[in-house]
Structure 1
Amino acid sequence: MEGMSEIDFEKLAEIELRKDEAENADLEGSQVSFAAVSNGDAEISPTHPYYDVARHNILHLVGDDNLGRKVIAFSCCRLPPSYQLNHRRLLEYLKYALDQYVENDYTVVYFHYGLNSKNKPSLSWLQSAYKEFDRKYKKNLKALYIVHPTNFIKIIWNIFKPLISHKFGKKVIYLNYLSDLRDHLKYDQLKIPQEVIRHDENLHTKQKKKPLTAVKIPPPRPPLPTQQFGVSLQYLKAKNKGELIPPVMKHTVSYLKRKGVESSLRVMNCREIVHGLPEQNYAVLKFLICFLHMVSQESIFNKMTGSNLACVFGLNLIWSPKGTPSFSTLVPINIFIGLLIDFYPTIFSSRSVPGEQLP
């Protein structure tokens, strides 16, 4: 999707939303569409600072999850047409409403059904919203459940994926049906808009009506004369004059034997550099690296591998004469220190100093 402008993405999102609308219209048939209802939500006072937005009940408290954390729902079916709603005010209201809960752990349920080409916010608004919901809001958010996702959601996710942290991405959970919420939330306590419930029922009905078609499995193709994978060892032996070792394995190992001398050469170069240090510098370095090597041996428990330790200690052991090192110099520094830690016995065993002490 590289090279696409924001306008192109906006058009692509619009196309997918129109597909969703057409599919939902076909799904609902001639049923009368529901008007937005409060569904038991508290009445909003006209004196509310965001009454113009809050009166739509787009954001509402719906209950608790299985761990007793508050669950807040965002219902797209309650979004009025864009010309009736100031989306900047909507963003301010969302932050205002969430401020009541973000000091403690909380969960958000996003009911996607009801988002259409008439009420959807722009991509620039979505980008602003993600940026404005800073660490204060993301830190205690334990899960974001997206109910009834469509291709539109996938496109939006791909567009914003470079902006979304891996940690936040792990909190996003897609659920195709309302019943899937039972595994995570106290479902019977949830206040779900009637429009969403009816849509869920229609999805189940459509799923039941799908014909069961037999999956045709194509017949297996005979292997090619030079095929190395997906065939038995017996086949390879017969095709290679009785050789027990498959050619691809033999050639790969041979190549690695020739080209894998390089790591040993690195270690030897490291040893030469270290052995050129003055006696006290060498003794101090050897003492420290010996300890870090011992730490790295327990990496299965402490997660501190040689490369991880090198990232922590590298810049403290090698100083640039030109001041703060550039990013380009960090990589070779960390590789060098990582080699000292991983190959400590090889690099340091051939030189000792009088009265040296080891951890």
Structure 2
Amino acid sequence: MEQYVAMDYSLVYLHYGFSSQNRPPVKWLIQAYRGFDRNFKKNLKALYLVHPTNFVEITLKIFKPIIRHDAQLLRNDNPLATSLNPYSAFLVSRSGEPKPGYIYTDGSKPNKTTYSPHQVFGVSLEHIKANNGGNPIPQVLDDCVVYIRQHFLVGPLDSEGLFRRSARTILVQAAQQTYNEGSRVKFENFDDPHLPAVLIKTFFRELSEPVLTYELYDEVLKVHNFTPTMQIESARDLISSRLPEDNYRLLKYLMEFLQEVSAHAASNKMTDYNLGIVFGPNLLWSKFANLASFAAVGQITTFIQLLISNFDDIFVK
């Protein structure tokens, strides 16, 4: 489990079927919780409770006001101090849809029609390009890539677990806010490759549409069934012929960088396979969240691995 909780993760809890006869006692749950190390607790970003009972719903409501904010642990003079929302907890009904009235978060949803011109997280590529001199590659992505490339892909600095290990959530959110306000973060002040690495993943994950587009979702999944040679040919057609130009430029920029990262796998342990696992869910997801979309994660991972390991044969324009 440690390899999964070393980075941001979500937890799905299926409550259906539990009763007083078969559920574990509270004492056991407390002991199990105490046995988890820090990564299990600090990297949990979302908790999904499927088929909760009324008791579970009421319990969440009671404990919500006393959930600790990580921001309270920061000193006031921290240069990136900002408020932090508590972990989100979603109660999922039997229909499979989240209950809108039971989304526990202190953050208000932004108005999608009133984005700041400087905003780069949670917006579309069209918005970024329109406010970035026609360039779909935002400043934050360039800053992160340049910093990691110059400081952690050359020289003796240790970058093991790059893109797998998590950065402090409070710093990630503050850095996002900084770039959304049109300013830049000086990563040299932190001497930590994991902050810019997490920002890269977060940028792609929060795009209004995945960089590989909803339109190509089904086509990407089909590549998994082809022979190795046909996989490359099919991927080349999807990426270099059918992917929109702005998406192509952005994806090519990222894949070229990830190819460099995998070339240093002896020191950072990030092979093209590991990078596929980390980046797959951030580069392509279904428009509809269902069991089939969860089952497709492995196929998406394989496709991203294919793009990294065959970069020169696939990105041909």
Global fold match (TM > 0.5)? no
Greater RCO structure (CA 8 Å; 6+ sep): 2
**Structure label with greater radius of gyration:** 1
With the length of structure 1 as denominator, give the TM-score of the two structures: 0.26
With the length of structure 2 as denominator, give the TM-score of the two structures: 0.30
